[in-house]
C-alpha cells in the first residue's frame, strides 16, 4: 500500500511518517522534520501546483504542526484552499485552518467572508465544515457577522447541521454571553428535537446557563427527568449504546444537571427519586462506564435533598466499590463516601475496615484520598488517632506540596479538637519538627499567642501548666540539629517569656540554652534576634524580681559580636540589652512587665503629655499644627499668582530655567535687526512652564534681546526629530504624536469483569485493625459530633473595582515644537515661538524694523504659524504679508563673522559635526 500511495497520499509522505515513527531520539526526529520544512518551503511556492499536490502539502504541514514545529509559512495556502469549489479541497482547507489558527490570528478576517458564503450552501457537508470553523475561529468581534445565519441553521432539515449549529451558539456564549442572551429560548426548543444527538448537544449550553442561575430553569426538571427515563428504558436507537449501556454520556450530563436543580429544593428532588433509583438498579457494575454512571448517581444523591431509601442504595454501591480489587473503584468509593458522610455520618461505620485497608494501601493516590476522608470525619473522639496517622504519613512523603497541605490540616485539626494542652503542644512540636519551613508562618504566631493567652477561662493553674509543659518540651528538643527557623523562633520566645516563670529552671540555665541557639544558627539573623530578645527578658525578669545574676561569658561574647554586626536590627537589640541592664528594677519592671505579651496597650493618640511643650512653643511664635484633612484642601495649584515670601506653604510654580553665562556687552539698541538668514518673529511667546495651561490668553510682554538664546546643548542628532535632555524640554510629554489605529482585526475497553470480593475478609481482620477502626469510627452515630461541629472558615474576598477616571477638561501642555522637523508644522498649533529660543546667542549690531505684537489670540487655531516656502520666505498662515530676507545684519563673532558662518555651513554640508557648540546651528539648518 505504501509503494502505491495508499489513502491517496504519495509514497514520499508515507516514507516521512515511517521515518519519524522509527526515529530513535528527539534530535533525529527534529532533523527529519526540519528537512521536510525546508523542502515544503521551496515546493509550496512553485507556480501552477496541481490541486491534488497542494492538498498533500497542506496535510504534511498539519502533520508538522502536530509534532510541535512551526509551519506558519503555509497558513495562507490553507486559507486559500477554503475558497476552492471542490468539496474535498474545501474540507481539507477548513480542517487545516482550524488546527493552524486561533480566534485572534490576523488571517481570521480573510475567511469570515468565505464562512458566510458556505453557511448558505446547498451542500450540507459544506455547511458542516463551515460550522466547524465557526466553533473554533469566530471571535467576539466577528460573532455579529455570522450569528444570524447560525440561528437560521437551527431549522435545517439535516440533524448534523442542527447539532453543529447548537454547538456554534454554545461557543458564542462561552466567548461573549451578552451576544447570545436573547437566544436562550432556542436552546429550550432544541431540547425537544427529534434527533437525540441535537438534544444531547443542547444539554451542554443549558448546563452552563443553569450553573449561573438555577431558579430560571426550575421548570425544566420534569423535562430532564422524562428524557433520563426514556434513555434508561433504552428508547434511543442502538447507535447511541456504548458497551451495551444506553447513551451513557447523555445520562451523566443529565445527572449533573439534576444535581444542580435539586440542590436545596425538596419539591424538585422528589421528582428525581424514582428515575435515579431505577438507573442505580439497572446499572452494569461489570464495566467502567456502568460504574461511572453509578458514581454520578451517588454524587447527585449527595447534592439533592436526601432520601433514606436512596442513601441506603448509595451505601450499598459504595460497599461494592470499596470491596473491589481495582484501585480506581476504591478511589471512587472513598470519594463517594466522603460526599455521603456530610449528609449521614453513620454510613462511615459500615465501611470501617475498608477505610483502614485503603489507609494501609501502597497506592499513594488512594492513601491521600483516604486521608481526605478522615479529615472530613475528624471529631474530638478520634482526633488523636487521625492526626498521628497524618503526621506519620507527612514524615514518609517527600513531595513539598502534599507535605505542606498535610501539615496545615494537622494544625487545623489540632487547634479545633485538641483533647488536652499537653497533646496540643506535642503535636505542634512534631509538625514543626518534620514539616520544617513548609509550615505557614502564621501557625507559629498563633501558637505563641495561644501559649500566652492560655486555654482555661480564668484558670491560672491550667495556663501555667500549659506553659510549663511547653518549656519542658522545648528544652528537650532545642539541642536537636536541623530544626526549622520558624520552630526556633517559637522556642526562643517561649523560653524568654516563661523559662524561669515557675522557678524550676534557673536564669543561667535558660540563658545558656539561648546562647547555644544563637551560636548554632549564626547565619540566621531572625533566630539570633529572637534569642537576644529572649536573653534580655530573662535577665530583666531576674533584676525586676530583685535576684542577683551575672551575665554568662557566652552572653558577653554574643553581645559584643552583635554590636558590630552588619545588621542594624541586631545592633539595636544588643545596645538596648546593654542599656536596660543599667537601669533600676522599677524602670525595668515598667519596660519589661512579666507575662504581659497579650496585655492591651493604651495609646494616647492625642499626645496630651506634650501639651505643655506645645503651649510654650506657640507662645514663642511657632506655627499651629494644621490637621491633615484641612491641609490637603489647601494644596490647590493656582497659576500666575505671585509667591508670598512671608508664607511657609509649598511652592508649585516651576523653577526658572538656568541661563548660560554670556559675555557682557553693551546694551543693544531699541530697534533690533536680524541677520539675513533669519526671519523676524512677529509674536513672542513665553517660555513653557510646568504649570502653564495648554491655551491661555492675555497680554504677553515683549522679550528683551538679552533673553534670546537657542539652547541646543541636548541635541543628539542632526537630522530628524531631536531629543533634548535639558530640564525644560524633558519635563513635557509629547502630545502631538499621530495616533495609530490598529485593526484587530479515549476510552479504554470496559468489558473486563471485576472479580468479586472475598467473602471471608471480615473474618481475617486482626485485633490491631479492630482497635484502630474502633478509634477512628467510635461514636460516629452521634450526629452532634459530626463534622458540622467544626468552625467553618469564612473566606471573604474583597474585590474593589477602581472607578473610571474622568478625563480632565484641560488638556496637558504641549511640548516645545520640533525645531528640525519642518514637514508637519501645519498639523498642530503651538504656543511657544521657535525663535524665542534664540535667547541671546545672536548679537545684533545693526538696526532694522521688526513687527511685533503685544498680545496673542486666545484661540490656538488663530495663532500665526510660519510655513517655509521654497524661496526661503516665511508666510503666516492667516495671510499676513510675506517678510523677505532682505534685512542685513552682522554678528560680532571673532574677527570675521561671515567667514566663520561660511566655514561652519560648509563643514555641516559635508556631514562633519564640529566638536564645539555652534551658536548658529539653527540658521545653518534652515539655509
Is 50 exceeded by the pLDDT of residue 414?
yes
For residue range 356-400, what is the model confidence (pLDDT) as tens digits? 888 888 888 898 999 998 888 888 888 888 999 999 999 888 888
Of 46-60, 204-218, 566-580, 725-739, the range with the lowest mean pLDDT is: 725-739
Bridge partner list, 241: 246
All three cell numbers of 389 = 496517622
Query: How high is the pLDDT of residue 198?
Result: 94
b/e code 484-516 from CB counts within 10 Å (16+ = b): bebbbbbbbbbbbbbbbeeeebebbebbebbbe
pTM as predicted? 0.59
Higher pLDDT, 815 or 86: 86
Burial bucket for residue 224 (CB in 10 Å: 0-12, 13-18, 19+): buried
Bridge partner list, 925: none
Query: How high is the pLDDT of residue 346?
Result: 80
Q: Please check whether residue 718 is in contact with residue 913, taking contact to mean a CB–CB distance below 8 angstroms.
A: yes
For residue range 33-57, what is the model confidence (pLDDT) as tens digits? 999 999 999 999 888 889 889 999 9
> What is the distance between the alpha carbons of residues 192 and 542, in angstroms, rounded to a whole number?
86
Residue 783 CB-half CA count within 13 A: 3
For residue range 560-587, what is the model confidence (pLDDT) as tens digits? 888 888 889 999 999 988 888 888 888 8
Query: How high is the pLDDT of residue 631?
Result: 74
To the nearest whole number, what is the mean pLDDT of the chain?
Answer: 75
Of 72-76, 437-441, 593-597, the range with the lowest mean pLDDT is: 593-597
All three cell numbers of 727 = 530640564
Query: How high is the pLDDT of residue 892?
Result: 43
Query: How high is the pLDDT of residue 173?
Result: 93
For residue range 821-876, what is the model confidence (pLDDT) as tens digits? 444 444 434 444 544 544 444 444 444 433 333 333 444 444 433 333 333 433 33
For residue range 166-206, what is the model confidence (pLDDT) as tens digits? 999 999 999 999 888 888 899 999 999 999 999 999 999 99
Q: What is the mean pLDDT of residues 786-799?
A: 39
What distance separates the 2 farthest-apart alpha carbons in the chain?
125
Q: At 633, phi and psi to the nearest 5?
A: -80, -15
777 membership: H or E segment, kind and range = helix 767-777
From the list 82, 195, 196, the residue with the least C-alpha distance to 129 is: 82
Strands (E), 793-872: 839, 866-868
- pLDDT-derived band of residue 883, with 50, 70 and 90 as boundaries? very low
Amino acid at each position: 500500500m505504501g509503494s502505491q500511495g495508499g489513502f491517496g497520499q504519495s509514497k514520499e509522505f508515507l516514507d516521512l511518517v515511517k521515518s519519524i515513527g522509527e526515529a530513535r531520539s528527539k534530535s533525529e526526529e527534529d532533523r527529519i522534520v526540519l528537512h521536510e520544512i525546508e523542502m515544503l518551503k521551496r515546493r509550496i511556492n512553485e507556480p501552477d501546483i496541481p490541486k491534488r499536490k497542494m492538498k498533500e502539502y497542506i496535510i504534511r504541514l498539519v502533520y508538522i504542526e502536530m509534532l510541535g514545529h512551526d509551519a506558519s509559512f503555509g497558513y495562507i495556502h490553507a486559507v486559500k484552499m477554503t475558497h476552492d469549489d471542490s468539496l474535498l479541497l474545501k474540507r481539507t482547507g477548513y480542517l487545516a485552518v482550524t488546527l493552524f489558527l486561533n480566534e485572534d490570528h490576523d488571517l481570521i478576517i480573510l475567511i469570515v467572508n468565505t464562512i458566510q458564503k458556505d453557511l448558505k450552501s446547498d451542500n450540507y457537508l459544506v455547511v458542516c465544515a463551515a460550522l466547524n470553523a465557526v466553533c473554533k475561529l469566530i471571535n467576539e468581534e466577528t460573532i455579529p457577522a455570522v450569528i444570524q445565519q447560525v440561528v437560521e441553521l437551527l431549522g435545517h432539515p439535516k440533524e448534523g447541521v442542527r447539532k453543529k449549529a447548537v454547538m456554534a451558539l454554545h461557543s458564542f456564549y462561552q466567548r461573549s454571553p451578552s451576544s447570545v442572551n436573547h437566544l436562550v429560548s432556542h436552546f429550550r426548543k432544541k431540547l425537544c428535537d427529534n434527533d437525540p444527538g441535537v438534544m444531547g448537544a443542547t444539554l451542554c449550553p443549558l448546563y452552563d446557563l443553569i450553573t449561573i442561575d438555577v431558579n430560571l430553569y426550575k421548570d425544566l426538571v420534569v423535562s430532564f427527568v422524562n428524557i433520563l427515563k426514556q434513555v434508561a428504558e433504552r428508547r434511543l436507537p442502538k447507535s447511541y449504546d456504548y458497551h451495551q449501556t444506553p447513551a451513557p454520556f447523555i445520562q451523566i450530563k443529565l445527572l449533573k444537571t439534576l444535581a444542580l436543580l435539586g440542590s436545596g429544593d425538596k419539591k424538585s428532588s422528589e421528582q428525581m427519586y424514582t428515575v435515579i433509583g431505577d438507573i442505580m438498579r439497572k446499572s452494569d457494575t461489570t464495566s467502567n462506564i456502568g460504574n461511572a454512571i453509578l458514581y454520578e448517581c451517588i454524587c447527585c444523591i449527595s447534592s439533592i435533598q436526601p432520601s433514606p431509601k436512596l442513601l441506603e442504595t448509595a451505601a450499598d454501591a459504595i460497599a461494592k466499590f470499596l470491596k473491589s480489587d481495582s484501585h480506581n473503584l476504591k478511589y471512587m468509593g472513598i470519594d463517594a463516601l466522603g460526599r455521603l458522610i456530610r449528609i449521614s455520618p453513620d454510613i462511615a461505620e459500615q465501611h470501617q475496615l475498608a477505610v483502614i485497608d485503603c489507609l494501609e494501601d501502597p497506592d499513594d493516590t488512594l492513601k491521600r484520598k483516604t486521608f481526605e476522608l478522615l479529615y472530613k470525619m475528624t471529631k474530638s473522639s478520634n482526633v488523636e488517632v487521625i492526626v498521628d496517622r497524618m503526621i506519620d504519613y507527612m514524615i514518609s512523603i517527600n513531595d513539598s506540596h502534599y507535605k505542606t497541605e498535610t501539615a496545615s490540616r494537622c494544625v487545623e485539626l489540632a487547634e479545633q479538637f485538641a483533647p488536652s494542652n499537653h497533646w496540643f503542644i506535642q503535636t505542634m512540636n512534631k509538625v514543626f519538627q518534620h514539616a520544617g519551613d513548609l509550615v505557614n508562618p502564621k501557625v507559629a504566631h498563633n501558637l505563641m499567642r495561644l501559649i500566652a493567652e492560655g486555654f482555661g477561662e480564668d484558670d491560672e493553674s491550667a495556663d501555667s501548666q500549659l506553659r510549663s509543659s511547653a518549656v519542658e518540651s522545648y528544652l528537650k528538643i532545642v539541642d536537636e540539629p536541623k530544626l526549622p527557623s520558624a520552630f526556633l523562633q517559637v522556642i526562643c520566645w517561649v523560653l524568654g517569656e516563661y523559662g524561669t516563670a515557675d522557678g524550676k529552671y534557673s536564669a543561667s540555665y535558660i540563658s545558656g540554652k539561648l546562647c547555644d541557639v544563637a551560636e548554632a544558627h549564626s547565619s540566621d539573623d531572625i533566630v539570633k534576634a529572637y534569642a537576644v530578645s529572649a536573653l534580655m527578658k530573662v535577665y530583666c525578669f531576674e533584676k525586676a524580681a530583685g535576684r542577683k545574676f551575672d551575665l554568662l561569658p557566652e552572653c558577653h561574647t554574643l553581645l559584643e559580636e552583635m554590636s558590630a554586626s552588619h545588621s542594624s536590627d541586631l545592633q539595636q537589640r544588643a545596645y538596648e540589652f546593654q542599656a536596660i541592664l543599667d537601669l533600676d528594677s522599677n524602670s525595668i519592671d515598667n519596660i519589661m512587665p512579666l507575662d504581659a505579651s497579650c496585655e492591651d496597650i493604651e495609646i494616647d493618640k492625642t499626645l496630651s503629655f506634650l501639651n505643655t511643650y506645645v503651649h510654650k512653643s506657640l507662645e514663642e511664635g511657632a506655627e499651629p499644627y494644621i490637621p491633615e484633612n484641612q491641609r490637603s484642601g489647601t494644596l490647590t495649584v493656582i497659576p500666575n499668582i505671585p509667591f508670598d515670601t512671608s508664607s511657609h506653604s509649598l511652592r508649585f510654580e516651576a523653577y526658572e530655567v538656568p541661563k548660560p553665562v554670556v559675555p557682557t556687552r553693551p546694551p543693544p539698541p531699541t530697534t533690533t535687526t536680524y541677520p539675513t538668514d533669519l526671519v523676524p518673529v512677529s509674536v513672542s511667546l513665553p517660555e513653557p512652564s510646568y504649570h502653564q495651561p495648554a491655551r491661555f490668553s492675555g497680554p504677553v510682554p515683549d522679550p528683551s534681546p538679552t533673553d534670546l538664546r537657542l539652547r541646543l546643548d541636548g541635541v543628539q542628532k542632526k537630522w530628524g526629530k531631536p531629543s533634548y535632555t535639558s530640564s525644560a524640554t524633558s519635563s513635557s510629554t509629547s502630545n502631538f504624536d499621530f495616533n495609530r489605529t490598529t485593526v484587530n482585526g479515549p476510552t479504554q475497553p470496559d468489558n473486563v469483569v471485576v472479580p468479586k470480593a472475598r467473602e471471608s475478609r471480615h473474618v481475617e481482620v486482626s485485633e490491631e485493625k479492630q482497635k484502630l477502626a474502633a478509634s477512628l469510627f467510635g461514636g460516629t452515630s452521634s450526629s452532634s459530633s459530626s463534622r458540622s461541629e467544626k468552625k467553618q472558615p469564612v473566606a471573604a474576598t474583597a474585590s474593589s473595582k477602581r472607578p473610571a477616571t474622568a478625563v480632565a477638561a484641560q488638556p496637558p501642555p504641549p511640548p516645545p515644537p520640533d525645531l528640525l522637523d519642518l514637514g508637519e508644522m501645519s498639523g498642530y498649533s503651538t504656543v511657544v515661538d521657535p525663535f524665542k529660543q534664540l535667547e541671546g546667542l545672536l548679537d545684533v549690531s545693526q538696526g532694522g524694523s521688526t513687527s511685533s505684537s503685544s498680545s496673542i489670540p486666545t484661540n490656538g487655531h488663530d495663532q500665526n504659524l510660519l510655513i517655509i516656502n521654497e524661496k526661503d520666505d516665511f508666510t503666516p498662515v492667516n495671510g499676513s504679508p510675506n517678510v523677505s530676507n532682505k534685512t542685513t545684519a552682522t554678528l560680532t563673532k571673532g574677527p570675521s563673522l561671515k567667514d566663520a558662518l561660511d566655514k561652519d555651513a560648509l563643514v555641516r554640508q559635508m556631514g562633519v559635526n564640529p566638536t564645539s557648540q555652534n551658536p548658529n546651528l539653527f540658521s545653518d539648518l534652515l539655509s
